[in-house]
Amino acid sequence: MFKRFHYLIAALIVNIALFVSFTQVNAVSGSEFQAGRIIDDSKFFSGPTMSVNDIQLFLNAKVPVCDTWGTQPYAGTTRAAYAASRGVSTPFICLKDYHMSIPYKAPESGLCNGITASGAFASEVISWVAQSCGINPQVLIVLLQKEQSLITDDWPWPIQYRSATGYGCPDGAPCDEEYYGFFNQVYNAARQFKRYGRDSYLFNYHANANNYIQYNPNAGCGGSVVYIQNQATAGLYNYTPYQPNAAALNNLYGTGDGCSAYGNRNFWRIFNDWFGSTFGPPDYSCKNSVNVSGASTGEKVIPNQFNHSGYATFSLVLPNNTGSACMEAHTWHPNLQSWITNVATNHPSVNPADGEVVSANVHGSTKSELNFIKYRNTGSGRIEIHTWDDSYQRWVYNIATNHPAIDPADGEVIAGDMTGDGRDELIFIKYRNTGSGRIEIHTWTPDKQGWISNVATNLPAIDPADGRVIAANLYGDNRDELIFIKYRNTGSGRIEIHTWAPGQQTWLSNVATNHTTVSTDDNEVISANIFDNEADELIFIKYRNTGSGRIEIHTWAPGQQTWLMNAVTNMSSF
């Protein structure tokens, strides 16, 4: 409970007045808020970004002069008189001057490393707790402001220190006395954010999964399904379980409407205003890497909904032996003769036998994300999924899946919207060395720790050099079909397209295409909606041994007997 009004209303009124004087590091607009990615893990759980002295100077700058004796006017009288009328006496101690005793805290595995001190100023508490619990001190500063405006209040009341971070203060109930006091509030809040990760199964909101999040404590105000992209964002929702609605975002520094909530909006806005982007810093460490020796191998053309408008284009991913010594992503203009972007990613060159890049729309937005799938030689010993943001210099998330590392000659990961919900699932295809002796289709849950389904198909296990599985929406019904592409050793002597019915036990169609059998070393079939139609097209990519000496992209008409388009790109074949 804020000292004068209900905490939601009070935080807004105080912030409207106070934020006018803030020195903005990175002014933002409500349109930039991402409900599923409020702050990156690398920012939230970072090391000591501020020393004790840095924190003290910051607090001094926010309140240069403390109204210790309440001489400033307020509500037709002085602050001191107003406070006295409500049972609060001077002096008012501002946060920069606040000193307190500290109880001993023992180390706890996976949470905090303990605290050994008898007394400290607020700046020391913030710094020591941040180091003990592995939380960015900037996060704790923003939390103190978001909950009680303590950072900028020049006449704070004792109740603001008593419940400084809002810890133990549930909606609609009194705060728990066990957690009263500034130190207890800061320490237990930091500890709790670590616990949200360590014991995530105990809490309501989970990273790397779809979560229904309300706009307001009033369930009648509604909410939406949000794909929470990382643990820090999940922790914020567990701490303050509401997302801002459009009205709150449209008036970023003021009030929204009767269905608005402001806690997570204010956290994001204050952090950006005071400390810059909530996204982790770009990683340019790749510039010091060394190329994998030998000729360039493993190049891959992938469909890529590069931005939020227009139809899909194509990106060429080069895993090794690039000019930058990094994995590179080059995105074509629709004419395939020039580049929209050429990016050296944050990941050093890799052996393509260990991993590949897959494009997927896992968040249900109007663009796709690029995912680096590491099959073997992983630090975790599991198949790993690393998803880039738009810059390809940061990771949105890094997931060690529930599946052990494997030889990619036995299986691969593909993406497809199998449910028609507008979001792609990641699917693990096992081609051989399967328990069933069949090609197997395993569809991950959003967190990649369990399976939505496990299917042994009607096809015997095979050498993936003979055939591969892809997903495509061939019928324009918003749901992808799984398709088995047979490249060689076919009965027809042609590339064959076999489309499974749901369940992968029977076929919807079997087509011998107009193209003779080929080697998967030089060619592959992919799918993309490149003409902005209701259905996807099947596309034949020729990497080497092309008549033109360039990478060629051939798009089939429905039925795969003729071509809609034959394009010779600007890129030489390898």
CATH code for the domain of 314: 2.120.10
259 with 188, same domain: the answer is yes
Residue pLDDT, tens place only, 439-457: 999 999 888 989 999 999 9
pTM of the complete model: 0.69
Task: Indicate if 468 and 397 belong to the same structural domain.
Answer: yes
In a domain, 2, yes or no: no
Residue 341's pLDDT is 87
CA-wise closest residue to 29 among 247, 308, 269, 275: 269
SS3 label, residue 56:
helix
The number of distinct structural domains making up the chain is 2
Residue 494 lies in a domain: yes
Same domain, yes or no: 237 and 335: no
Do 237 and 366 lie in one domain? The reply is no
**In terms of domains, do 512 and 532 share one?**
yes
d(CA 471, CA 535): 12
Contact 161, 183 (CB under 8 A): no
State how far Cα 514 lies from the chain centre.
42
One domain for residues 41 and 67: yes
**Cβ–Cβ < 8 Å for 333, 339:** yes
Is there a single domain that holds both residue 261 and residue 319?
A: no
- Residue 486, C-beta contacts closer than 8 angstroms, at least 6 positions apart: 466, 467, 495, 496, 498
- Say whether the peptide bond before residue 107 is cis (omega within 30 degrees of 0): no
Q: Are residues 259 and 308 in the same domain?
A: no
Domain of residue 247: give its range: 7-275
Considering 275, 299, 322, which residue would you say is the last residue of a domain? 275
Tokens of 13: 């009124």
Widest CA span in the chain: 94
Among the candidates 275, 294, 313, a domain finishes at: 275
Residue ranges, the chain, pLDDT below 50? 1-24
Does any domain span residue 430? yes
**Whether 494 contacts 514, CB under 8 Å:** yes
Same domain for 24 and 143, yes or no, is yes
Tokens of 423: 């979001």
Q: Can you give the pLDDT at residue 309?
A: 52
Q: Residue 304 falls within a domain, yes or no?
A: yes
Q: Is residue 49 part of a domain?
A: yes
Q: Please indicate, yes or no, whether residues 142 and 94 belong to a single structural domain of this protein.
A: yes
CA distance 445 to 399: 12
Mark whether 108 and 166 lie in a shared domain. Answer: yes
The partner residues of 119 in beta bridges, in order of sequence, read 101
Residue 139 to residue 157: CA distance in whole angstroms? 22
Report yes or no on 157 lying in a domain: yes
Q: Which residues contact 32 (CB under 8 A, 6 or more apart)?
A: none
Residue 1 covered by a domain: no
Which of 210, 240, 275 is the C-terminal boundary of a domain?
275
Task: Based on the fold, state whether residues 320 and 410 are members of the same structural domain.
Answer: yes
| Assigned domain for 280 exists | no
